[in-house]
Structure 1
Amino acid sequence: MKFTVPFTLLIIISLSAFSQSFTISGKITDEHNKAIPFASIYIKNTTKGTSANSEGEYGLQLKPGTYDVQYKAVGYQQQNRKIELNKNQSVNIVLQTETYQLSDVVVKAGGEDPAYAIIRKAIKKRKSHLNEVDAYTCEVYIKGLQKLLAAPKKFLGFDVQKATREMGLDSNRRGIVYLSESESKYSFMKPDKVHEELISSKVSGSNQAFSYNRASDIQVNFYENIQNWGGLSLRPLVSPIADNAMFYYNYKYIGFTTENGETVDKIKVIPKRGYDACFQGYIYILENSWRIYGLDFFITKKQNINFVDTLKVSEQFIQVNQQAWMPSSVKFEFTGGLLSFKVGGYFISVYKDYDLNPKFDKKEFKEVMRVTKESNKKDSAYWANERPVPLTEEEKTDYTKKAVLAKKRESKQYLDSLDKVNNKFSLLNLTYQSYRHVNRYDHEYYNLDAIFPSIRFNTVQGFNLNYGASFSKQIDSTTNKYLVVGAKAGYGFSNHKLTGSIYAGVPAGSYNLGFNAGSEIVDLNNHTPVSPLINSVYSLFERQNYEKLYQKQYVSVSASKRITGGWMASGYAEWADRKSLANSSNYSFFNPGNRDYTSNNPFTPTFDSPLFADNQSFKVTLRTTYDFSDKYETYPTGRRYLPSKYPTIGLTYTKGIKGVLGSDVDYDLLAADISKSNINAGVFGQTSFFVGAGKFLNNNSIFYPDYKQFTGNQILFSGTGINSFLLLNYYTYSTYTKYIEGHLEQNFSGFFLNKIPLLRKLKLQEIVDINYLSTPTLKNYTELGVGVQYLGFRLMYGKSFNSGSNTNSAIRIGVSF
């Protein structure tokens, strides 16, 4: 069929009009003309809607037509407006504070508040509401904002004024430090499978960064008995409608109102004990169905939360079909501070376009998150058209101002000028701090160690210098892979031995390759259980030389790769020429108690005798681990595999091969292990464990450095790794036959101490450790440790149970960051 030109133009014009969209916008206030922040706006009987911003302003883009628009906010009477949309319209809304009527219920003196009957019904229906939706998809918009509210000009020598000025904050060091928006397609399938695809991402102050906003991170579900909020609170928070909620909460009936023909009961939730991991605030329950209609909760420092002083969470629900209600918006607001710094901000997520009957292939959920390189390339016109929550004037200004800064920061001229300032070299500064020369534009980095921290002391070398330098360069920007090369040089001022080594790390496709060669003086225990710095302090001030050393000249190569999913494999081969060493220095600053240094042989502490004959070794180690996880996140830089909820199992085989390059060793060691950290134990905190066992299949020719070593501890300061002991000797219980070791740690996360006045304010976590080791020469050695932890600091009391000298007790201090 042939169209005439006028008829073709008519069709084009008609199609254009049909595809045109208009915007309803305005401001939502209360009866006192105060803005109602983050109110919800939805089209009746749909899941299409938006949210107002923090100043009550909203905007909703729609096709031409007639719409029933619902405006609502928790604690306010809902308003409905019928709007005929054929042009952009401004519709300001005033929401009246909701008046909740009391039911005709007579409460006798000492009688139960009506709220309890409602909550019991909600608890009874909790499981059915939790499981009523088998799968769904939706679109999620998230906006996150964090502001610095107060800060000192300087902090511990750091120029805060300069740093905040470079970040675009005002002269009083106040302003937005993080502003980001994102749009995601979110998919869920019972019981816990999720997939999220980042559709668009915008970060103020960077044209290259991707938003940290994740729909899965901001999701809450109060139909679950407990809320696990990661680093914010080590203790899980109890839902006000959990199965055991009556043990934790008191309830007060405020009244009821009617919305959309439904009766909504407002109930105040109050923790029975102020310091329990519980919420305070209001929950709104729909009668008859006994589901959550909305909630407005908060928690404070009393709940032992980290980083913030107060956290508010608000959630509103929308009816998607006759059987299901889903979240329409979730908002987190927070304020907090540390020392002289104060921060505040919010995250809000808006949900729309629910599909409760999607068709999924389970394989889709192997990928939990997808972020494509195109997602942060959307321009301002796209965001002006798609953004459901309008920007405030402050947010508009921040985007505009920081866009100029971002363009400047990403230019070669700016990066070179910044490097020129920061790359200034000072020999005086190098004595106490490392030097880093940076070429940001070409992604090249040169590092020189600080001189003074490189000086150590041990009784084998005396004072010694172990100085290093390295170079790294990004060789693949898409996968963020780096080439790393470095060298170290050492000298012992007492034994006059010169040492040196070189190393390199090279990514090659899916492999990570390593190369090392040189001459080093190293710990007899390959776990290096006592650091050279700590040993220096104990030697010079206490005249206790715990570290025992030997010399090796060596060449080694390594390779590792991911086979698939949670299956990893690595290989390591080393040739080494090894020599026993003796003490060469008797120096110390002090000598409390007229102590004598012990020899460098841990088995003959009163006289130096060679621990092993000089030898050469060639060994090959193969290791594989599997953590039962095939889930991953995809980023422009590549995949990041996620840990499994199941334990990780490992298998290691080491072969000492005689005759190769003069090797004197001949042994086979087969070992297996299983471990898992931070297993959620509900209100009882987190559990971690490690179990390992091994056997030398043959030990025809073996020397002490080839023995199976353990991470012991003999000093006040200890490690905090799960597979370390509190009291075990560093060297004397190594084995060349067989072994089994086990470690169990329970972090109660304040379950007990939070119930004790005054102590609860310290936010201490109770720690219980049980460690076990058995070898043919050390049978059933057991340790029990109890203590407390605050952030990365740990104080423990440990006691060992065995026989004779193996029975011991001591205080231990652990530090980890």
Structure 2
Amino acid sequence: MKRILFFLCALLALPLAAQTVLGHITNEFNEPVPYANVLVQELGTGTTSDDQGYYELNLNLEGNYRLVFSSLGYTSNKSSVIVGLDTVELNIRLETSGVELNEITVNASKRDPAYGIMKKVSDNRTLHLRSAPPSRSKVYVKAVEEIERTARRPAPEPEETDEGGVPDPFAEEEKARKELLGRLNLLEMEVQLNFQPPHNYKEERTAYQAYGNVRGLFVPRFAETDFNFYRNMVSLTDIADSPVISPLSGTGVLSYKFKLISTDLEGDQIVYKIKVTPRKRGNSTCEGYLWINEGSWTINRLDLGFSKYALKFFDEFRLEQDYTPYETAEGEDIWIVNRQALKYVAKQGKRTTFRGTTTLSYSDYEHNYAFPPKFFGNEVAVTTREAYKRDSSYWEGSRTVGLTEEEAKMVSIRDSLKAITSSKEYQDSIQDRYNKITLMEIAWDGVGFRNNEQKSHLYVGSLPELIDFSVVGGWRLGPYASYNRRYPNGQMINTSGGLNYGLKNGDLNGHFSTWFRYDPFRLGDLSASGGRSYESINQFDAYLNQLRPSNYILKDAGRVRHSIELVNGLTVYNEVELSARKPITGLETSSFLDGLVDDEEEVQEFEPYEAFITTTAISYTPGLKYMREPDRKIRLGSKWPTFSVLHRKGWSGPLGSDIDFDFVRFSIEQQIIFGALGTTNYEFRTGKFINTKDLRFIDIKRFRQSDPILMSDPRQTFQALDTSLNTSNLFLEFHHIHHFNGALVNNIPLLKKTRIKAVAGGGFLYLPDEKFRYQEVFAGIERVFKIGARRRLRVGTYAVLADANNAKPTTAFKISFDLIDLWKKDWSF
């Protein structure tokens, strides 16, 4: 029996050992070709020659095979071979191609051909960018968010019954419906994407539908983030603090290590799978895999993850991008993007995880599309009014990525709920319930009245809101109310007002304001406000000075303001104010603040007077990018500075005005992104009173005293100015701050794990007529803390060194607390 088994095993092993193809791969100079690729076209698998050019290929089945031999710097060779019981020897000679072998960089220590492959792609990178023609394509966007919640200990739920105590047969189904709606959100969008090299994009959003809360879903704007890894730096606007260095860039080998994982034959195309690993894990690198097409040296697909240390809102973010071959009218084969998948994760504590996937499916590609003149400009996206009116039948015929069973069920449920909740009967019932006055509203929430047809809302403050406080005289009592309305064409109006009575001085103050946005697209605003109040002389002074009564006057005022964007980026602002200014001498100014804040200054004494002041300001931002919605405009920013000019005029005579002055100011402000080195913000201002015939102390130009401990906005204020300054003459003022976004800390192995980031900046003030010069520099560290799934708190500590020509150098230490703006997706400074 043992002999029979041995004989059978020998028979089985014989053909396996015999079905082998081996040989030697050389070039035309009879030199071995190391690490050449040997692929079996029928199987899509293969092997690699050793460092002497020898290869051995084992096949499981007999038959005819077509082998493809290729190597960097050589022309591919295809040979047919018949494999039977005997070993087949097949020696191959590869001819040198146009690129010399010594031009190919190979990592000598690891002898990995991936470096040579990446150099070929890098060398052709600029060619791919320049050869990209004008084109347009249709993009279907599907963004899905699934919320995973882990309960501590699920409590036993009582069985739901009807009035007769019979178990509700629909309870489980209703519970499942609520659970599905609570954990699944979906956004769909259809875009006509237009592109003109090198950087011009314009999106025409023709369909849009949101299901649930979609605030956490990420949808890229191509003008800001196109994920084109043929560029040296890949912008990650709204995703990360800084752009990422492309592995294909000219300096990619300095930032990444590469390893060839496999060589595969996909149809007739040889594809190299290369692992990409950062040499230093920093904010401006990525990690994952690239698939490279042999011959054309283009991207076949990629799967890359971005550093968690740089992400603004997410804990994880990955990009999958697939390319497909496209034959042009000229018969040329090019590779174009046909799918992108953005996968991101945001965690809230240990028990809630938000998992999002945004899939972009490309179709109907039009090569060398002829766009009309001036089609591309500063408008980078436009959403049509019809986009928000697409029904379910439209989406069923437009989706290029189908919905899952759960997604389809959720969409069906939400469509049904929308039909109910948008009905007039339902809206009226909700309105009637909301408009019913309750004791809780009077005592705490405030009383509200809503009109759904007019889209208006009236609010009256609650009892606690009757209580107010003023630095002058302390506690005050009085009502407050507001009214707002939104019109179908996007116009809005807001009105508010209140009265308050001072318990200590027995005085009556009040205020009102009305704001009307009459042109939503051009941000045309008209407002009127006024009243009687105690107003700070320097409203932008240090917060401690704002708590001192000596900084206040009594002001009766009325003002009208108007602003509008005349053309894109050019905004004009006008203001007219008539006020009666009076001292607060004779009033009781004490309050509980007296024990907290020292006020060594006396209340300002002066003769009451009238002041009629007009202000005109013009600001211009060249190249301001924007998105057009049906009834509004969304500004996206510009790479150019914003230039501003202001003129403030105090008039003598009109309406009894007693003042006479003219003040002019010029300013420049800009944000500059220096790639992986960080982001800089600066602002320069200069100005002067060109007329001071009757300039009162209230209208003089003032410079804010620095706050103790707290860091104020370094783009607007100084951090170690120990007193308030003023001038009526020429001034020069400069502020600067640079966030390194990890560029410094990432070079320190242990420190970078703390996720702190370095920041530095400074300021300069020069008053020529007063012969005063002040300068300061600061440096610090900042760290971002999670306080929710997408809420972020940035805490910073800073050291300040200041010097003035009339004082000794001083130092100060500051801290800052900054919540990220979820709408702008950026910090305050």
Tell me the percent identity: 24
Residue 116 of structure 2 is matched in structure 1 by 117
Match of 2:727 among 721, 728, 735: 735
Please say if 1:522 is aligned against 2:535. yes
Match of 1:361 among 372, 394, 405: 372
Residue 327 of structure 1 is matched in structure 2 by 337
> What are the equivalent positions in structure 2 for 1:698-709 lying under 5 Å apart?
698-709=691-702
Match of 2:314 among 303, 308, 312: 308
Amino acid at match of 2:129: L
Residues 649, 623 of structure 1: alpha-carbon distance in 2 compared, 3 angstrom cutoff: same
5+ residue gaps in structure 1?
A: 1-76, 81-95, 155-164, 540-544, 600-604
The residue matched to 2:772 in structure 1 has which SS?
coil
Residues 762, 521 of structure 1: alpha-carbon distance in 2 compared, 3 angstrom cutoff: farther
Please say if 1:264 is aligned against 2:271. yes
Match of 1:285 among 276, 286, 292: 292
1:646 Cα deviation from its structure 2 partner: 0.4
Residues 508, 566 of structure 1: alpha-carbon distance in 2 compared, 3 angstrom cutoff: same
Residue 775 of structure 2 is matched in structure 1 by 782
Residue 566 of structure 1 is matched in structure 2 by 569
Amino acid at match of 2:817: V
Residue 169 of structure 2 is matched in structure 1 by none
> What are the equivalent positions in structure 2 for 1:579-590 lying under 5 Å apart?
579-582=582-585, 584-588=588-592
Residue 338 of structure 1 is matched in structure 2 by 348
Matched length: 687
Please say if 1:620 is aligned against 2:614. yes
Residue 509 of structure 2 is matched in structure 1 by 499
- The range that moved more, 771-780 or 622-631, is 771-780
Provide the rounded CA distance (Å) in 1 between the counterparts of 2:364 and 2:718. 54
- C-alpha offsets along residues 748-770 of structure 1, whole Å, 9 cap, x if unaligned? 11222344456534533322121
Residue 347 of structure 1 is matched in structure 2 by 358
Are 2:310 and 2:741, in contact at CA under 8 Å, matched by a contact in 1?
no
Please say if 1:402 is aligned against 2:414. yes
1:184 Cα deviation from its structure 2 partner: 1.3
Provide the rounded CA distance (Å) in 2 between the counterparts of 1:137 and 1:113. 39
Are 1:412 and 1:441, in contact at CA under 8 Å, matched by a contact in 2?
no
- C-alpha offsets along residues 243-291 of structure 1, whole Å, 9 cap, x if unaligned? 2222221111112122232221111111222345322221111223222
- C-alpha offsets along residues 386-434 of structure 1, whole Å, 9 cap, x if unaligned? 2211211011101101111222222333334445555676666767766
Please say if 1:247 is aligned against 2:260. no
Please say if 1:751 is aligned against 2:743. yes
Residue 669 of structure 1 is matched in structure 2 by 663
1:350 Cα deviation from its structure 2 partner: 1.4
Residues 799, 360 of structure 1: alpha-carbon distance in 2 compared, 3 angstrom cutoff: same
Residue 598 of structure 1 is matched in structure 2 by 599
Are 2:107 and 2:113, in contact at CA under 8 Å, matched by a contact in 1?
no
5+ residue gaps in structure 2?
A: 1-38, 53-105, 154-171, 785-792, 820-829
Provide the rounded CA distance (Å) in 2 between the counterparts of 1:450 and 1:785. 45
1:206 Cα deviation from its structure 2 partner: 10
Provide the rounded CA distance (Å) in 1 between the counterparts of 2:253 and 2:176. 47
Provide the rounded CA distance (Å) in 2 between the counterparts of 1:521 and 1:785. 36
> What are the equivalent positions in structure 2 for 1:540-579 lying under 5 Å apart?
545=548, 548-579=551-582
1:721 Cα deviation from its structure 2 partner: 6.0
1:779 Cα deviation from its structure 2 partner: 1.9
- C-alpha offsets along residues 669-724 of structure 1, whole Å, 9 cap, x if unaligned? 111111123x2111122111111111111101011221123344233334336212
Q: TM-score, normalised by structure 2?
A: 0.76
Q: TM-score, normalised by structure 1?
A: 0.77
- The range that moved more, 256-265 or 752-761, is 752-761
Provide the rounded CA distance (Å) in 1 between the counterparts of 2:222 and 2:387. 15
Residue 318 of structure 1 is matched in structure 2 by 324
The residue matched to 2:652 in structure 1 has which SS?
coil
Provide the rounded CA distance (Å) in 1 between the counterparts of 2:313 and 2:115. 34
Residues 736, 216 of structure 1: alpha-carbon distance in 2 compared, 3 angstrom cutoff: closer
Provide the rounded CA distance (Å) in 2 between the counterparts of 1:807 and 1:413. 72
1:325 Cα deviation from its structure 2 partner: 1.6
Provide the rounded CA distance (Å) in 2 between the counterparts of 1:759 and 1:420. 59
Provide the rounded CA distance (Å) in 2 between the counterparts of 1:712 and 1:360. 55
Provide the rounded CA distance (Å) in 2 between the counterparts of 1:378 and 1:528. 52
Match of 1:101 among 41, 44, 47: 47
- The range that moved more, 365-374 or 423-432, is 423-432
Are 1:100 and 1:266, in contact at CA under 8 Å, matched by a contact in 2?
no
CA RMSD of superposed structures (Å): 3.5
Match of 1:443 among 449, 455, 478: 455
Residues 229, 212 of structure 1: alpha-carbon distance in 2 compared, 3 angstrom cutoff: closer
The residue matched to 2:726 in structure 1 has which SS?
coil
Are 1:151 and 1:173, in contact at CA under 8 Å, matched by a contact in 2?
no
Residues 739, 451 of structure 1: alpha-carbon distance in 2 compared, 3 angstrom cutoff: farther
Are 1:186 and 1:195, in contact at CA under 8 Å, matched by a contact in 2?
yes
Provide the rounded CA distance (Å) in 1 between the counterparts of 2:325 and 2:281. 34
Please say if 1:796 is aligned against 2:798. yes
Please say if 1:771 is aligned against 2:771. no
- C-alpha offsets along residues 494-516 of structure 1, whole Å, 9 cap, x if unaligned? 44432111111123456421111
The residue matched to 2:732 in structure 1 has which SS?
strand
The residue matched to 1:232 in structure 2 has which SS?
coil
Provide the rounded CA distance (Å) in 1 between the counterparts of 2:396 and 2:40. 28
Amino acid at match of 1:114: P
Residue 185 of structure 2 is matched in structure 1 by 178
Please say if 1:487 is aligned against 2:497. yes
The residue matched to 1:230 in structure 2 has which SS?
coil
Residue 655 of structure 1 is matched in structure 2 by 649
Are 1:782 and 1:802, in contact at CA under 8 Å, matched by a contact in 2?
yes
Residue 24 of structure 1 is matched in structure 2 by none
Residues 452, 704 of structure 1: alpha-carbon distance in 2 compared, 3 angstrom cutoff: farther
Match of 2:304 among 276, 297, 305: 297
